[in-house]
Amino acid sequence: MERMLRLMQYLSGNTTQTMDQMAKDLCMSKRTIFRYFDTFKKAGFTITRVGESIYQMTSHPSNAPDLENLVYFTEEESIVLARLIENLNNTNSMKGSLKKKLAAVVDCTSLADYMSSRSYSSIIGTLEQAIKGHKQVKLTHYSSSNSNKAKDYVIEPFAFTLEYADVWAYDLNAKANKMFKLTRMEEVTLSGDWEHEDKHEAKTIDAFRMSGDGHPIEHVKLRMTTRAKNLLVEEFPVTSRQVSKGQRCWYWEGDVNAYEGVGRFVMGLAREISIEEGDGLKEWLAEEGRKAAEKFGK
């Protein structure tokens, strides 16, 4: 049943998984997948071949619930459900089976990291307490990418990002609002009460998790191969809302707050991505390429 739900998720979403990929991911033979196809068709669903060894569920019975709502969870929804399951008493016989079933219908790296880490669960719980109780917290040995050092911080957390990957907080030392990544937190402990609530301000995050100054700097449109598109939505799940299919290609289009996020992604797949809109991004990439050539060139 769990594998059937995963198969329905693949077929009813925007995925372009081939038959070989689905068979490998679901640990089932192609014969079994085709047998499930027959089961779906008998139930009134339509399975259509949309590419070489690529299939999608293009329609379903009018009296059937929407498949995406039935078997698809966003990354945020998945982590919230995982948190609720984790809070069950360890003596509850359903706890283990619920975790397995959630993992079976969700393909999400952040969820896997969350469910395998009790300390991560504790960090989210402490930060949630601080936000609700208007408390400061101390981050012990937070790994800062700016200083390349593990430092201690005293912050006033006030909002999680959509994917529960980061928290917005007022940094008492820097006297500024910053976004702190939960995966870089080693230990979080409650401290005193908020003192700077009037300065709390969460900036807008773009699809590549960049805040910049909180305002878009450019509208970008990327033309991608199927591989690039798959890597995009796997690494940055929010982008899936802005992905569309073209003729033998895929497009992503949206506003960005900084060039670093989208730029790093494009540079890593330069042969599989072209920029249809975004002159500023092209200039940024050209400059970064020049710097790289100077550093690594002969």
Could you give phi then psi for residue 93, rounded to 5 degrees? -65, -20
Distance CA 281, CA 266 (A): 10
Which residues is 23 bridged to in the sheet?
Answer: none
Question: Pick from 124, 35, 42, 41: which is nearest to 79 by CA?
Answer: 124
pLDDT tens for each residue of 137-150: 999 989 876 667 78
Collect all residues with Cβ–Cβ distance below 8 Å to 179 and sequence separation of at least 6.
161, 166, 167, 168, 169, 203, 205, 211
Give residue for tokens 């969870």.
73
Distance CA 158, CA 196 (A): 11
Cβ(246)–Cβ(294) below 8 Å: no
Which residue blocks in 55-211 are alpha helix, DSSP H? 67-71, 75-86, 94-105, 109-115, 118-133
Distance CA 225, CA 232 (A): 11
Tokens linked to 256: 């960005």
pLDDT tens for each residue of 63-75: 555 544 445 555 5
Could you give phi then psi for residue 80, rounded to 5 degrees? -60, -45
- What's the CATH number for 2-71? 1.10.10.10
What pLDDT was estimated at residue 68?
Answer: 46
Distance CA 144, CA 130 (A): 21
Domain residue limits, the chain: 2-71, 75-116, 119-199, 218-296
What pLDDT was estimated at residue 85?
Answer: 66
| pTM score, whole prediction | 0.52
What pLDDT was estimated at residue 89?
Answer: 59
Give me the architecture of the 218-296 domain, per CATH: 2-Layer Sandwich (3.30)
Cβ(82)–Cβ(111) below 8 Å: yes
CATH T-level assignment (fold) for domain 119-199: SH3 type barrels. (2.30.30)
User: What's the helix, strand, coil split of the chain in %, to 5?
Assistant: 45, 25, 30
pLDDT tens for each residue of 216-270: 999 999 999 999 999 998 888 888 889 999 999 999 999 999 999 999 999 999 9
Segments of the chain with pLDDT less than 50: 67-70, 109-110, 118
